[in-house]
Amino acid sequence: MAEDPIPAQLGPYEVEVEEGRRYAWCRCGRSSKQPFCDGTHKDTGIEPLIFTAEKTETLYLCGCKDTGDAPFCDGSHNLL
């Protein structure tokens, strides 16, 4: 059985991504390299979300881990 995600912060992470590069967004909230995975999810039953940046740009990645549009912030932190 999977553990519940832990909100890493109640707001998005502003990050620069590079076109064509793969990223692993932390879903569990336990990573010390937020918003990206550092492997801390081991044994939680929660896996990171792997995505490839479509272009080089600034993205706002979810910090509360409650978004409905993972890995992007959708404002869900305003309801916590």
User: Which of 38, 44, 42, 48 lies closest to 71 in space, CA to CA?
Assistant: 48
pLDDT bin (cut points 50, 70, 90) of residue 80 is confident
The predicted pLDDT at position 16 comes to 98
The predicted structure's pLDDT at residue 77? 94
- d(CA 5, CA 27) in angstroms, rounded, equals 7
pLDDT per position as a tens digit, 32-77:
999 999 999 999 999 999 999 999 999 999 999 999 999 999 999 9
Per-residue pLDDT at 68: 96
